[in-house]
Amino acid sequence: MQVIFVLITISLFVALGFLGAFLWAVKTNQYEDDYTPSVRILFDDELPNKDTKDNN
């Protein structure tokens, strides 16, 4: 039974560590995407329509 309490305690500390890391990342703008807007123009072209019929 003591092993369960030890494992629960350890898992709570690990979960709090991950929560702290997540909150730190959000607070310091680690999730800001500076790269995608600069290359978005490269992907704006539409693909050519493949449904065109040849009149041969």
Q: Specify the pLDDT at position 18.
A: 98
Residues whose CB falls within 8 Å of the CB of residue 25, separated by 6 or more in sequence, listed in order: 31
For 5-47, how does the pLDDT look when each residue is reduced to its tens digit (9 = 90+)? 999 999 999 999 999 999 999 999 887 877 777 777 777 667 6
Q: What ranges do the domains of the chain cover?
A: 1-44
CA dihedral sign of residues 42, 35, 26, 19? positive
Q: Specify the pLDDT at position 32.
A: 80
Q: Specify the pLDDT at position 33.
A: 77
Q: Specify the pLDDT at position 51.
A: 67
- pTM of the entire predicted model: 0.56
